[in-house]
Amino acid sequence: MKETNGGFSIEVTGETRACPAAEKLAPRMMAEGRTPVFSCEGGCVRGEIARVAAHMVAKEEGYARACHGELFAVPHSAITSWMKQADKVVLINGCFLRCHGRIAENIIDDDRLVQFDALKVYRKYSDIFDIDDVPEAERLEAARQVADMVIESMAAKQASA
């Protein structure tokens, strides 16, 4: 985990519950040794492309979708345990702000958190906010480019390990 300068804290209301579906999923994903994948899910087109790319990566063998909400706000959940114990955790950031990345760096050890900047892959839409201002086919094409880069990069990291 990284120490930061100029950081700030956010108070999160406690929660004793956890997602029932995730409580069933996470132990199976841990047992199968799957790599958790999560993403920026910001309200703009860049967050949407990152979200769709994460979904694509999670469909690949050895990966599965994880929940940033539980990681950030439900520390006792099975999803959080899986993400904290996994050998690697993939995070697809939507843009240079790295909102999820800056939070996750304080929860997941740096050597296990593998972050990708989706915007650097497709290099478009930095001046567009509304998701619907980019045709769905273009969003899917950009997400596929990001997903393919993540998959290739992770395979190269495994091959060199």
| 38-51 confidence digits (pLDDT tens) | 999 889 999 999 99
Residue 12 forms part of a structural domain = no
Structurally, the chain folds into a number of domains equal to 1
Domain that holds residue 82: 20-160
Report if residue 129 sits inside a domain.
yes
Q: What is the average pLDDT across 86-99?
A: 96
Q: How confident is the model at residue 127 (pLDDT cuts 50, 70, 90)?
A: very high
Q: What is the pLDDT of residue 8?
A: 85
C-alpha span between 111 and 134 (Å, rounded): 35
- Length of the chain (residues): 161
pLDDT, mean of residues 24-43: 96
pLDDT at res. 14: 86
Please give the residue that has the higher pLDDT: either 116 or 159.
116
Domain-located, residue 1 = no
Which tokens belong to 157?
């990291």
Residue 3: inside a domain: no
What is the C-alpha separation between 67 and 65, in angstroms, rounded? Answer: 7
